[in-house]
Structure 1
Amino acid sequence: MRRLLVSLTVILSVIISCQQEPTGPPEKVQPEVRTGGVYRAPLSWSPRTLDPAFSTDIYSVTLIQQIFDGLVQFDQNLNVVPALATSWIVSSDGLVYTFNLRSNANFHNGRQVTAEDFVYSFTRILDPKEESSALSFFERLKGAAAYRNGESNEVSGLRALDAHTLEITINEPYAPFLPVLAMISSKVVPREEVERWGKDFGHHPVGTGAFRLESWEGNQIVLSANPDYHEGPPHLDRVVYTIYAGAQRQKILQEFLAERLEEAAVFGADREEMAQTTVYQFVRKPSLSLQFYGMNCTSAPLKDKRVRQALGWAINKEEIIREVFKDQFIPAETILPPGMTGYTPENAAYGYDPERAKELLAKAGYGPSQKKLSLTLLSASKSNVAQKELAMVAAHLAAVGVELQIKYETDWPTFEATLNSGRFQLYRYFWSADIPDPDNFLNVICGSDSLYNFMRYSNPKVDRLLSQALVETDIIKRVRLYREAEGMILEDAPMIPFMYWVFESVFQPYVKGLEISALGSPYIPLKKIWLDKQ
């Protein structure tokens, strides 16, 4: 107990001390907010869809966050605050949530938002014909099972008490339910527009947000200001996203330096230079994220836990992060990142120990006088830093007798389809929190029934612990359950935690109103940004 509480206290202290405000030219006097202008931002890949119910990648999230609203939202400190709901009441047993909605919120087509729109939007997620990626978050609604089984035409736990009062009832206490309602998938959509466009709604989105889709052609997506936004029109006229497929980091930075972009993420040597800038705003902030190498637990060589564990011991994460990323990121030895409730350094697993890796491989039947182990890793990024990183990973594995081939698939939908198909052995992946809750890592990435468990990992004991944690409302007991579950997952080794990302980007000096949370770039509220070019 004492070790757990001390760990949590240290983590919070570290995160608070590490958070930095933008550096750059000091402002002697805060200028008057200016309206107008175009904000130009890069996307590393093309979004698969702009339909909130089917979003599975951060590139979709980045745009959906600007186009749609939900009942609630996260503020800069990850508190749940009002969005389309002005207030809410939770029953004493934690099962009934009653939301009071704004009366001045309209969809981009001009129609007023009502409680029935939320009933429709959440019911749509539960529709068995839709196969929404958010299904697991809403299965806990009262009547969800009866609706999905065809026993009822409606979800009894969703009720519009009147035009501006929504009641949601769940089957059992669900600790992260309010944060779930702030997720991208929980945004409200207009039924008439979904029925008009069908499956293509994701390319013709209609929301309630500060910006609306103007065009999506080729490698460019343009959003225009919503003059009727319920919080008042945004300061910007437009937001123009340019897609640099395959995470062309160097090109993005060059475009930024040529003043053709307002922002750019920085890496490696460029990051060292930009961190010292007195011209641009350099922003660094810890994020709730994890880059890892997932392993297909149903693939013949990787079915053996000893092989998976050996790969974890064979990679020198510190060396790669030092040489390739210039210590920009933090070596990861757990699944939950620092700053996340339940982060437990004592669970740390798989440091660098090549001799131990060789021993495990030999026990699994691989070695100089045994079978040769050859594996293939799939990466969606082909940036310079990604190639250098993976070249070092391949070299470290070669040192313990494992041949690693790298396959690149820079089209995100194709990459994702390959993961869904199971036709791979290892993959490089980045996970950024949807909500600041440990369930969003351990259950979503590693739960047996999760759509994001591309590893095909399954452990009934882990599933039981994760299920217990979801309904446990005592924070200390929840942390204990997640701590035990994470320890089991790391022992089973379906993944190699590689590094925790830190948000580091540069912004043009005239960009004002930035608010950046630990959820990172996709959640920057562009409705608050304005440009001071004079």
Structure 2
Amino acid sequence: MRGTTRTVAVAGISAAALLLAGCGGGGEEETPDASSAKAGGDISVEGCSPQNPLIPSNTSETCGGNVLDLVTAKLVSYATKDAKPEMDIAESITTSDNQNFEVKLKKGYKFHDGTEVKAKNFVDAWNYASYFPNGQGASYFFTPFEGYADLQSEDPDEDGPQKAPAPKAKELSGLKVVDDHTFTIKTSEKVSNLPVRLGYTAFAPLPDSFFADPEAYGKKPIGAGPYEFVSLTPDVDIKLKKFADYSGKDAAKPDNITFKIYADDETAYKDLIAGTIDVMEQVPTSALIGEAWKTDLQGRAATKAVAGITHVGFTKTDPRLSNVKVRQAISMAVNRQEITDKIFNKGRVPATGWVPPGIDGYAAGACGEACTFDAAKAKTTLAEGGGFTGTLEFAYNNDGGHKEWVEATCNQIKTNTGINCVPRPFVDFSTMLKELESRKFNGMFRLGWQMDYPSIENFLAPLYGTDADSNYQDYSSPAFDKLLNDAAADGDPASSNSKYQEAEKLLGQDLPTMPMWYTARQTGWSDKVNTVEVDAFGVPDYGNVTLK
């Protein structure tokens, strides 16, 4: 994930199409206002505080992820316009059975420290990510690899005096280095879309120097991407500079990019209007009312629909939310259309399921009656579920522009069910995630999801698979997990999608979260830069920004 991570708007991208490609495909991107555009110069953009040190396999949120996407390179990259997978560090990824894969690397691809990216840099990085004692948050993405279970362990008393026993193994049996530029992957089951997944940040290679001092790397990461990491000043900024010896095809345009860290988006928006920052990924909700943002920015803004979703989770630790009818009642009490019309000025689309339109396998209506506004039905359903006593806290991060819609949602829940819903703001996204991870918070919480890689599976497995990294609601269903495994192993795209759709329908029955709306980006920029393109994941293409 990224909990609010990457988003894609694509129709059907097949692993087979990627496997057949020996190198990056796709046409040239158009450069807006090319006559006045120029590469070079410095830009500053809105940023936020990373949750964890900047290690690729331990970064699963946008604050750190947007930075690492510029710093790292992976086997695969995704085209800006349509998220089409293209070879990057990989020369080729081939398989005859969707279980045994051979990866060949391009020769001479360099890390920022000047060393060459070799097969062992992938294998060592993925073993490190998978090994339970290393505590990597994105370890879950390596679950399909053969031997993953042997690298896991379980804390017998959950952070108590006892320590988890050492895992059976330290390396994945499914990874083998063949030579400097070749390695193989074996999965425990067939995984038809594995090559498509390999462009996600967690699959980035790590230089040899990482293993000597992972802590130092987390403070100053070394990747193979178009930008080098310069510095991180907590709560102030993150600085990057262009990598002169970048080996890939997506050469950087700005010389320097500074992510200025903001505690709230209103302050960032004021700075954008004043020209203090140059790019803001999403203007604040308050600026959408009456389309004030278009007037404020005077042609320096654009809207793009992206296949992301906002949902509200229910903590499993709160016994008052354990009855599914209570969760259904809360969801039915929310008038999504009214909120998207009035708060977002029709800039969002009410969700009817957990997978957004534009994703191959999307099917409307998976949420069913629970996502249909019905105040009367909400009251009767709540009574059938045993009611709700006390205050229902609704957690959100204050640095993301969520205050208005969270308050509106709470007001609707209170009006339509009588439940005393109260917004609970956290200072920033990182702080909220840590509170959710501690499992000490009881109530509801806001999260968004942006695609990590272009697949319907990415909207289901990382959020709702048992023990998945972003499964903050602790949903666990053997039937759901089986459908995910069966779908991943199915080599026929239509049949695979059908199984994923069945899994999504189970979410409709169990309602671990309530879908709210599908995403669009309202992005703004300063008058010193040309038009900013938002990529298929909903993130500004910072590396291609040009100055006037």
Tell me if TM exceeds 0.5: yes
Question: What's the offset of the Cα at 1:455?
Answer: 0.8
Query: Which of residues 340, 345, 348 in structure 2 aligns to 1:326?
Result: 345
Q: Quick check: 2:310–2:517 contact (8 Å CA) kept in 1?
A: yes
Corresponding position of 1:452: 470
Corresponding position of 2:45: 41
Unaligned runs of 5+ in 2: 1-9, 13-28, 154-166
CA distance in 2 between partners of 1:26 and 1:449 (Å): 44
Corresponding position of 1:87: 92
AA paired with 1:381? N
Question: What's the offset of the Cα at 1:235?
Answer: 2.5
AA paired with 2:381? L
Q: Is 1:124 matched up with 2:128?
A: yes
Q: Is 1:474 matched up with 2:474?
A: no
In the TM superposition, what are the counterparts of 1:225-374 in structure 2 within 5 Å? 225-231=242-248, 234-245=252-263, 248-264=264-280, 265-268=282-285, 270-271=287-288, 272-275=291-294, 279-349=298-368, 350-366=371-387, 372-374=389-391
AA paired with 2:206? V
CA distance in 2 between partners of 1:313 and 1:289 (Å): 22
Question: What's the offset of the Cα at 1:269?
Answer: 5.9
CA distance in 2 between partners of 1:419 and 1:66 (Å): 28
CA distance in 1 between partners of 2:229 and 2:121 (Å): 20
Secondary structure of the 1:129 match is: helix
The change in CA–CA distance for 1:33 and 1:388 in structure 2 (over 3 A counts) is closer
CA distance in 1 between partners of 2:117 and 2:357 (Å): 38
Corresponding position of 1:8: none
In the TM superposition, what are the counterparts of 1:73-84 in structure 2 within 5 Å? 73-76=77-80, 77-84=82-89
Question: What's the offset of the Cα at 1:94?
Answer: 1.9
Q: Quick check: 1:46–1:243 contact (8 Å CA) kept in 2?
A: no
Corresponding position of 1:104: 108
Q: Deviations over 1:334-362 (max 9, x none)?
A: 11111112221132432111111110111
Q: Is 1:54 matched up with 2:71?
A: no
TM-score (norm 2): 0.85
Q: Quick check: 2:150–2:168 contact (8 Å CA) kept in 1?
A: yes
Q: Quick check: 1:117–1:191 contact (8 Å CA) kept in 2?
A: yes
Corresponding position of 1:526: 542
TM-score (norm 1): 0.87
CA distance in 2 between partners of 1:210 and 1:437 (Å): 25
AA paired with 2:546? W
Question: What's the offset of the Cα at 1:55?
Answer: 0.5
CA distance in 2 between partners of 1:510 and 1:176 (Å): 41
Secondary structure of the 1:482 match is: helix
Question: What's the offset of the Cα at 1:458?
Answer: 2.0
Paired residues, what number?
Answer: 500
Corresponding position of 1:405: 422
Q: Quick check: 1:48–1:412 contact (8 Å CA) kept in 2?
A: no
Q: Is 1:223 matched up with 2:240?
A: yes
RMSD (Å), alpha carbons = 2.6
Q: Quick check: 2:77–2:88 contact (8 Å CA) kept in 1?
A: yes
Unaligned runs of 5+ in 1: 1-10, 14-21
CA distance in 1 between partners of 2:543 and 2:363 (Å): 36
Question: What's the offset of the Cα at 1:92?
Answer: 1.5
Query: Which of residues 182, 187, 190 in structure 2 aligns to 1:165?
Result: 182
CA distance in 1 between partners of 2:101 and 2:532 (Å): 32
Corresponding position of 1:176: 193
Question: What's the offset of the Cα at 1:451?
Answer: 2.0
Q: Is 1:376 matched up with 2:376?
A: no
The change in CA–CA distance for 1:324 and 1:278 in structure 2 (over 3 A counts) is closer
